[in-house]
Structure formats: C-alpha cells, structure tokens
Structure 1
C-alpha cells in the first residue's frame, strides 16, 4: 500500500457510516412534501413554503441529499447550494432528521455523504452554514464535522436579529468550514 492509499483509507474511516437500514440518495421532486413535513416537525428550522421544498428538490438536487428508509421514503435531508459569487463554497441551508431516526448519527452521515459528493466536483473547498445561538444540536454537528475532517471553523454573525422583519428571531451565526479535501481518488 502506498502512502497515498494509506491516507485515503484513513480519510474514509473518518466518515460516518449510514445507520443500518438507511441509504443516501439524491432528492427527487416527489420527495418535496416529505422533506417539508420533516422540516415542519423538527420544531427548530425556519419552515419554508411547501412549494420551496419542491423547487429545492428540482433545482438543487445535486447539492442536497436525503436518507431513505426501507420503504424508500425520506427520513432525513440536507438542502444546499453553491454560492453564486463563491463557486468553491457549498452552503448548507437546512439539516433535519425525522424524530424516529434521531440519535443514530444520521445528520453526521448525511453531512459527510453530501460533502464527499460535493468535493468530487473540482473547486469545492469549503462549506458554510448559519446557526442560531440556541441551536445546540447544529452547533455540535458542524463543530464535530470540522474536527472529524481536520478543517478549521471560523464564526461570525452574518445576520443580526434586528434584520429579521418578523421579530423574535435570533441572530444567524455564519460557520465557515474548510478547507475540505477530496476523500476519493480520481480515476
């Protein structure tokens, strides 16, 4: 085994495996309703319109991911997109896991799977996400992701609470995580 192969093997073991009975997949338009329900039932995400989740599954499927149960229905998801003015950055918009699947490491496995796929595309070097200060689970998810992958995390307030027109919204803290490395060898 060469040094490069050994590095690759070590990098692969750092990725979270999908929990038993679940598989990683690209979202389809017909998944939009289930993704909307998972987001709604999370009670932590800002819920977008059901229409927006349908559009997300159509227009941003390549930068998003779902976990499917044995029946093929989504039980968790991550929506993301490439920043138009920073094409080397994948923005993670929302992460949610069905209540029955929580505590199995699914969110981490989804994030690892999505970023592994995203870094296969030349140029993706980092991820960004925003997290409100009271969202402990997301803070832990993204901090542990960075630690697992040997990436740095930079944090700063992106949107102050006063910018939100509906009042009562906490500030959104921007997490910049990178650099990301491509875990898969190129052929």
Structure 2
C-alpha cells in the first residue's frame, strides 16, 4: 500500500528492518524494549502479521502481532510504535487497518486483542477509537498483575478484546 499523498509506504517488514524497528521502539516510551534479536525475528518469521511504515526511507511506524496459538482466530497486537515526528496524525489507526487488511487470506479472524497498562492513555484511545469506528465490541479485563512482574516494577497489563457481536470475520466487516 503506497500513499503518494503523504509519501508513506505501508508494507510487511523484512529482516533488514529489524534494527530500525528496535531503534523506533527504544525511542517510543512507554513501550517495553526487547532485544534487537526479537525485532529481527518479528521482521522475518512474523512478517505476515506485522506492518512497517516508511517515510523518506525511514521506518516511522511499526505494528507487531501474531495469531494466538490457543485461539487461532485471535490476532494479538503486541506493540504499536509511531515515530515522534508522525504522532497525532492517525498513523497508528491506519497501521491497524493495514494489519487487518493484510489478513484477508486468513480464514477466521474473529478478534483483535492486546494488553495495555492503565497509564497508557494513548494506546487505550487508539483501541477504543478503532472499535468504535468499526462497530466492534470492546471488553477490558485484568490480565497480568504487577505481582506477576515480581521486582521489575512493571505496571499491570489489562487485556483488550475487540470483536464483532455477530462473530463475523473482521476482514469482511472492516473491508
């Protein structure tokens, strides 16, 4: 997907994008920074469920996701990162749309889910707005408590689940 209007290129990542993705995540607090190796794996092994956005040959956006092994119709969005220069223009929502659009070949995409800490208002707003725009139900439930993290002093994570009340395939509902 190439949008010549604002020269953004939405595409699947490749192994060569791994380091740029890692740097984007490092510069996107409050996201947890994982090892660079993980981003190389996401950009290669999980490329079909990830999106990068380029502007002037620079990675300015990234969404990582995977299908849950215990629920193969549930796409878990792990991280959404937008470069500081691109925040506030709706890029995160456009990346989520592109991610869902790329799943058209997947037989059953019934829900989109993620975890968000209670203080991350930007991510909460993104998923609430996305669910409202597409008429999806949104449930929020406790998932990972602070106690699970032990002495890491990590905030709790709540599970957000977006799905159609009619159990429709999300790719059909949105596109």
1:82 to 54, 59, 67: 67
Q: Which runs of 5+ in 1 are unaligned?
A: 1-16
Aligned-pair distance for 1:39? 0.5
The residue that corresponds to 2:39 in the other structure is 53
What per-residue deviation string (whole Å, max 9, x for no partner) do you get for residues 148-186 of structure 1?
1100001101101100034321110000100224144xx
Q: 2:129 — aligned with what?
A: 144
- Contact 2:63–2:80 (CA under 8 A) maintained in structure 1: yes
Among residues 96, 100, 106, which one is paired with 1:111 in the alignment? 96
Aligned match of 1:37: 23
Question: Do the aligned partners of 1:161 and 1:168 also contact (CA within 8 Å) in 2?
Answer: yes
Q: Deviations over 1:15-64 (max 9, x none)?
A: xx897111210000110111111100012101000111001111100001
Determine which structure has more spread, i.e. the larger CA radius of gyration.
1
The answer to whether residue 31 in structure 2 is matched with residue 27 in structure 1 is no
TM-score (norm 1): 0.85
Name structure 2 gaps, 5 residues minimum.
Answer: 165-169
Q: What's the CA shift string for 1:125-168, capped at 9, x where partnerless?
A: 11110000000000000000000110000110110110003432
CA distance in 2, matches of 1:26, 1:119: 14
Q: What's the secondary structure of 2:162's corresponding residue?
A: strand
Q: RCO higher in 1 or 2 (8 Å CA, sep ≥ 6)?
A: 1
Do residues 134 (structure 1) and 119 (structure 2) align? yes
Q: How far does residue 85 in structure 1 lie from its aligned partner after superposition?
A: 1.1
Distance 1:124 1:61 in 2: 17
When the two chains are superposed, the root-mean-square deviation of aligned CA atoms in Å is 1.6
Structure whose residues are more often strand by fraction: 2
